[in-house]
Structure 1
Amino acid sequence: MLHYRSDIDGLRALAVIAVVAYHAGIPGFSGGFVGVDVFFVISGYLISGLLLNEMEATGKVDLLAFYARRIRRILPMLLLVVATTLLLALLLFPDDQKRIGRSVTSVFFFFSNHYILNKAGDYFEPGTDLVPFLHTWSLAVEEQFYFVWPLLFLVFARFHTGAVRKITLICAVALLSLLSLLGSIWLTETNMPRAFYLMPTRAWEFGFGALALCYVRYGQALPEKLAGTLALVGLLGIAFAVGSYHESMLFPGIAALLPVIATVLLLLAGTYQNGWVTRLLSSSPATAIGLLSYSWYLWHWPLMSLVRIYDLGQRDMLRDSLLALLALGLAWLTFDTVENRFRRAQGWFTTNRSTVLTGLFLSVLIVLGGALVVKWSGYQDHHIGGVYLARKDIPPLRYACHFRPWTMVDEQKLQDQPPCTLGEGKLEVVLWGDSHADHLMPLLMVANQMDALHVLQRSQGACPPLLGAAPYSNGRLNTGCADFNKKMSALTLLNAQQGAKGVILAGRWLSYVPDTRQSVRSSGEVSRILVADGEQANTDPQWVLQVFEQALQRTVDTLVAQQLRIIVMAPIPQMPFSAPTCLMRRSASDCGVPSAQFMQQKQAVMAVLSRVAGRHPSWVKVVDLSEALCSDWICPAFKEGHVLYSDDNHLTATASRSLYPVLRNELSWLAGRS
């Protein structure tokens, strides 16, 4: 039988404290995200124990009863937290209602891990701070696992008995766990966000918990001294992972083995109740927090995220720590009234059948509530005004001529130019770069209308126009970008042979090249650097600048050799937050970046651009639009009645068009007309 173990509630307390402290940014908890891995192992241990009990007692597995128990355990608190979050979004954030409302369906049908992966991307990116239901990815992984896991026990209950069933079940669990672990290690190296979010690459953690359960059930009792040693090693292993792991490392993969194995050791050692570690975990404070762990986990993140949305994405350790305590208070208030109350079969949750039907009904009801929030948001879009709509003021050719980041672009698609070619006759200018090339296209469309400039746009997100180097982020090299630039080089040289005169090279240089006086990224961000072809990643700022300069020089030399004139676009100001969001919640004077700060930020990059251009003074010009975007003291988000940015760094189409007079003479030179 599986008896209640108070030390497991203490282990839950360790896990939830680690996660909450990590989200609050408390020092010493940089790896607190491993608390979720601890939860997964505990879950695999307990749920496998319940299934094994039922299989051995009755010779079968009642799937309806199993899912009814999961609904009573998970759904009531989840409904309360999501409904509260939706209500707060409706009252406080008219500009974010649609985004938040759309995510509700994924929460209640347990695919939020896929939704967040597709919409928000990497878990460690700062943008995920603004996703109130981010934390439900782990619930989705868990429930996806338990859609499948009981079927394994059902198969063994029907077709095996006695010792054969025991041995084959353990072998099956071990084999499936090994396959999942190997898949996790491989995918972490090749596509870390998918490895982080997807159930198949997390299943081994539940499996390790199940194997721990099998040992406790069928193995020999651990000697007292060995149990004490294992408990200490397990506790130190979790503490080391929580204190030393960080956002820039590859995870889960091999790194997840430490917290997972450490948790397994604590589960094994906890069967000996007299060890000091087990007594510590079984203490009243630890078990009290452990009992509240699910409610605390659910409450803490929406509170932090909603406040960060209001505060334009800014993190504040003191504020977030107070919110964590508020969430703990809410967990205490709702534990008996909601979570614990509905665990007991009563009312609409009396029978298994009524529980499942009620769960489905309530889930559909809250999903409809999310849909109504989205609908209401659509209505508000027409009444909020131009500031909010600046988010949608994007280049009209973006979806036709700007390729998605981190993808391999088919050569045929690259050569299929309409509608990405503006003008009649011979092509004059090629626009090549990342999204900071794309946002120049409205300006060039004006040039086409006013001066009959014949332009071709070819750009890819997160891909600066550099030959021999590519962006590197979270242990992954952007090989799609390297391939795109090789193809673009060949296409541009072909256009030169057919009469093209010039090329505009535009990139969000500041996101690939750090300021040499600062670290590559601040502590709240994931590092993204440039890596030269065939070399290992090196985060030293001076090294990255050298890679940037060599790659840009190689690109310019290649183009100049074909007698192409070149304009290299200098960095434009980047806001510390979304400009439309800031303007919705603050005065325009609060929504900008000091000019002096921006000048310092771009100094190292400007020095590189000047040196590269200086080696071909007759063929290369550096054009700096910031002179038109900034005053002597501020680079604003709002100027002369227009919002300048659609997010934190991309020009609105309106702002781009307004800059045409600034670039008119340079474009004439670029096209060989002067």
Structure 2
Amino acid sequence: MTQQTLAPSPSTPAAAPRGFRPDVEGLRAIAVGTVLWYHAGLPVLNGGFAGVDIFFVISGFLITGQLVREVERDGRISLPRFYARRAKRLFPAAAVALIASAILTRLTLSRTDWETFGGDIVAAAAYFVNWRFASRAVDYLAEDVSPSPVQHFWSLAVEEQYYIVWPLLLLLLAIVIRRRGWPTRPTMGIGLALIVIPSLIWSVYLTQTNPARAYFVTTTRLWELGIGALVAIGAATWGRIPPRWAALLAWAGLALLSIGVLVQTTATPWPGSAALVPVLGAAAVIAGGFNAGPAGPVRLLGLRPMVWIGGLSYSLYLWHWPLVVAATGRWGELNNWQGAAVVTASVIPAWLTHHFVENPLRHNKAVSASTRVALSLGLVCSLLGVAAGGWLAHAGTSSGFASAKPGSSVGAEALGNGADPATALKIDMHPTSMTPDPLKATADVPKLYADGCQVAQPSVEVLSCDYGDTKSKKIIALVGDSKMVQWLPAVDAMAKDNGWRIRTYAKSSCPWNPNPIRHKNAAYTACVTWGQKVLTLLTGKQKPMLVLTSGIRSAAYDVKTGEEEQSLMVDGYVDYWSALAKAKVPVVAIADTPQPGKIVYECVLNHHDDLMTACKGDWNRGTGTAALEAAVKQVPTARFVDLNPWICPAEQCWPVIGGVLVYRQGSHITATYAASLAPEFARQVVPLVKELTRG
């Protein structure tokens, strides 16, 4: 968060230098306070995340005000000088926090996350981490990744990108103004409105269609900074508002802002139109504060504690979240009081950084006197952050397990008859090598993902890819969510051996079922629409000879009552499979794989010496199995296959079987283990295909 040009004295706000706005500093205190409250997990301020939106308004106001005054004074903008001010003010404290984050991650978090979080720190130091998080938020294969210790840097990255683009835009407008002789502020206001309005429209649209991505990307947040910029450009207008009305405007803004923080929840699509509430509230507080005088919120916001916290807000923001993540990694999920204690303790490193790093370098005469020195300081600080992230990422590339020798990893083939309890005795209880390496488990996926053949959650587009014998006219459709896709290595091998082509229709977190489901507490309407399109294809011009399907879901919900029921999921399967039966397309349903109850590859990494004891799980049938099996019993042209005895033999879910790591993400099996199951998969499925298709 950008610090103001003039730093206040906490003890004497009334005697602050000309141009200082204690109400703005107090507004900054509210912004950081709500964020800390929210991250501590405390009740009441359910929309505390909106504090970031308040910061955006403040930053847009302060930076634009400085730049516009420079245009009015000099007729131009000195970009080197502007970037030098930003670099000396923001980068040193950020570098200290990033280095500390790398060390804390190494000490408190699982080795499985070191490489990923090291990359996050590199991206944070380079201020593009928000785009990295945006990609991860919609990456189905990244759902096991824990909260990053630098996740809060996404907003700082947005601001830094704004600092690059905004001065260039204002400089362009300044050139036009000088050449045309147009009035400075009205022209800039119109120019900025042409950015703010499209950004707001895009924010509303993307929040509705892809909320996970919309939260992080710069394009959906520019309008918030732009609102603050427009407040700065209209300074003369706000200063002419009668004091009584200015005070009313400012108090109304504070009330609106409070509503935004209290009423919004994580279920509210964000940012979108909902963010207008805190953004316009903050803008009204700042605009009204120009002429509200002591009757305005300055009597609250200008209190010495508020001004002091506002002055410390940047460092507080930097430090609180890495400490919360580290404490959670060390002690587990924090309760309210523990969360409050951690964010309160962040005041200590924040104060030390502010007084011994941030302020000394910001006010250093040598740094202030030379644009080159200031820019060099910023570059060095960024490189230090990059180095810290690189160090952590490199440390996370070694698991401590040896790579399995070629031919030594047989996986499921070591089990023979997986249903035989005696097979448990065949499992190596002290494996020192395995494949895939636990650190690479999440990347051990079917090639369908690299081929871009799984439809993302917001999309209703139908994609298909061909595997197996791609020249064959005998087509088997593989349809469903990732619990069906996980079997592709075994299906691919079976199809090649039998001269069949496999055509995939896959969508993230979406069972092939016409009845609605919820995903992340919201109706997953795109899943239903996609499924209906697939059915049309499979009963029409792309009719296969058979459909293979599976799914993790156990229930769909009743639109009228909102209740989730397994019978609705069963009915949905029956509806689709019956439609296929009418088109003479039979179905083979594969049982859902068991839930291990833990992140297996992480457990393996953390329990080298006793992984087969610490990381085993109790047997279960998988959450989606019951619905699939029940539906098969109602459709004569459907058959059921259960391979779970070869995943959890003798009613024990082992982490490593035959030198192969069994699980990757969640309850998905690794592609390597699925490939090792290819002989057993074919032994059970091939006869059913031939029975149902008579060929």
Same fold? TM cut 0.5? yes
What's the counterpart of residue 5 of structure 2? none
Question: 1:5 pairs with 14, 21, 37, which one?
Answer: 21
Q: Give the TM-score taking structure 2 as reference length.
A: 0.80
Contact in 2 for aligned 1:30/1:243 (Cα 8 Å)? yes
The question of 1:291 aligning with 2:282 is answered no
Name the CA distance, whole Å, in 2 between partners of 1:409 and 1:421: 26
| 1:303 matched residue in structure 2 | 323
1:182-581 equivalence runs, <5 A = 182-271=201-290, 272-275=292-295, 277-308=297-328, 314=333, 316-348=335-367, 350-378=369-397, 386=434, 387-395=438-446, 398-400=449-451, 402-406=453-457, 414=464, 417=466, 420-421=467-468, 427=474, 429-444=476-491, 452=498, 454=500, 456=502, 458-462=504-508, 464=510, 466=512, 468=514, 479=526, 482-483=529-530, 486-487=533-534, 490-491=537-538, 500=545, 502-510=546-554, 513=555, 540-542=562-564, 548-575=569-596, 577-581=598-602
- What letter corresponds to residue 270 of structure 2 in structure 1? F
Contact 2:535 2:576 in 1 (8 A): no
> Given that residues 137 and 197 in structure 1 are in contact (C-alpha distance below 8 angstroms), is that contact kept between their aligned partners in structure 2?
yes
What residue is the counterpart of 1:609 in the other structure?
A: 628
Structure 2 residue ranges without an equivalent (≥5): 1-16, 404-432
Given the superposition, is the C-alpha separation of residues 227 and 561 from structure 1 closer, same or farther in structure 2, using an over 3 Å criterion?
A: same
Flag the 1:217–1:495 CA change in 2: closer, same or farther, 3 A: closer
| Local SS of the residue matching 1:325 | helix
Q: CA offset at residue 262 of structure 1? A: 1.0
| CA distance in 1: counterparts of 2:402 and 2:552, whole angstroms | 33
User: Residue 663 and residue 170 in structure 1: after superposition, are their counterparts in 2 closer, same or farther (change >3 A)?
Assistant: closer
Alignment correspondent of 2:638: 620
CA pair 127-662 structure 1, distance change in 2 beyond 3 A: closer
Q: Distance in 1 between matches of 2:69 and 2:582?
A: 76
The amino acid of 1:432's aligned partner reads: V
Distance 1:380 1:590, change over 3 A: closer
Q: Which residue identity is paired with 1:559?
A: L
After the TM superposition, which of the residue ranges 251-260 and 545-554 deviates more from structure 2? 545-554
Distance 1:282 1:485 in 2: 59
Native 8 Å contact 1:8 1:281 kept in 2: yes
How many residues are matched?
A: 635
- In the TM superposition, what whole-angstrom CA distance separates every residue of 1:378-410 from its partner, at most 9, and x where no partner exists? 456775953434444433565348435348798
Q: CA 1:176–1:390 in structure 2 vs 1: closer, same or farther (change >3 Å)?
A: closer
Judged with a 3 Å threshold, the aligned counterparts in structure 2 of structure 1 residues 307 and 439 are, in CA distance, closer, same or farther, namely farther
- Given the two structures, how large is their TM-score scaled by the length of structure 1? 0.82
After superposition, give the CA deviation of every residue in 1:433-459 in whole Å (9 maximum; x if it has no partner): 22111212334456569x858462514
- CA deviations on 1:280-334 (whole Å, 9 max, x unpaired) are 211122222211211111112223334445678x564444333212322211221
2:605 to 584, 599, 602: 584
Contact 2:472 2:501 in 1 (8 A): no
String of CA shifts for 1:604-650, please: whole Å, max 9, x gaps: x656435422322x432344445555589875655676533112121
CA distance in 2, matches of 1:207, 1:396: 43
Shift of 1:360: 2.2
Q: Say whether residues 1:672 and 2:690 are aligned partners.
A: yes
Q: Does 1:132 align with 2:149?
A: yes
Task: Tell me how far 1:75 sits from its aligned partner.
Answer: 0.4
Distance 1:375 1:220 in 2: 55
Aligned-CA RMSD value: 3.9
In structure 1, C-alpha distance between the alignment counterparts of 2:278 and 2:112, rounded to whole Å: 40
CA distance in 2, matches of 1:122, 1:440: 20
Superposed displacement of residue 27, structure 1: 1.2
Q: Which moved more, 1:180-189 or 1:59-68?
A: 180-189
The alignment partner of 2:112 has SS state of coil
Give the structure 2 partner of residue 99 of structure 1. 116
CA change 1:409–1:57 in 2 (3 A) is closer
Please give the alpha-carbon distance, in whole angstroms, between the structure 2 residues aligned to 1:268 and 1:408: 41
Structure 1 residue 186 displacement after superposition: 2.6
For residues 338-394 of structure 1, the C-alpha deviation after alignment (integer angstroms, 9 at most, x for no partner) is 122222144456411221133224423542453454445445677595343444443
Which residue of the partner structure matches residue 56 of structure 2? 40
- Give, in angstroms, the shift of residue 477 of structure 1: 5.6
* Greater CA drift, 185-194 or 138-147: 185-194
Task: Tell me which amino acid in the other structure corresponds to 2:504.
Answer: R
Contact 2:111 2:605 in 1 (8 A): no
Match of 1:170 in 2: 189
2:255 maps to a residue whose letter is L
CA contact (8 A) 2:113 2:146 kept: no
Instruction: Measure, in 1, the Cα distance between the counterparts of 2:25 and 2:616.
Output: 48
Unaligned runs of 5+ in 1: 517-530, 532-536
Cα–Cα, structure 1 residues 444 and 204, in superposed 2: closer, same or farther, change >3 Å? closer
Which AA in structure 2 matches 1:109? A
C-alpha change, 1:141 and 1:379, in structure 2 (3 Å) is same
Give the SS at the match of 1:649. coil
Q: Summarize deviations over 1:231-263 as a string: whole Å, max 9, x none.
A: 433233222222221122222121011101111
Please give the per-residue CA displacement for 1:402-421, whole angstroms capped at 9, x wherever unaligned.
Answer: 4353487988x73x63xx11
Q: Distance in 2 between matches of 1:405 and 1:562?
A: 28
Q: Which of 158, 161, 168 in structure 2 is aligned with 1:144?
A: 161
Q: Which range is displaced more, 153-162 or 293-302?
A: 153-162
Q: Would you say the 8 A contact 1:566–1:670 is kept in 2?
A: no
Is the CA contact (8 Å cut-off) linking 1:398 and 1:438 kept in structure 2?
no
* 8 Å CA contact 2:95, 2:384 repeated in 1: no
**In 1, distance between residues paired with 2:664 and 2:334?**
22
The Cα of 1:558 is off from its aligned counterpart by 2.1
Cα distance in structure 2, aligned partners of 1:383 and 1:174 = 59
Q: Residue 456 of structure 1 aligns to which amino acid in structure 2?
A: I
| 2:663 aligned partner | 645
- Distance across 1 between alignment mates of 2:472 and 2:104: 56
Matched letter for residue 359 of structure 1: G
SS at match of 1:295: helix
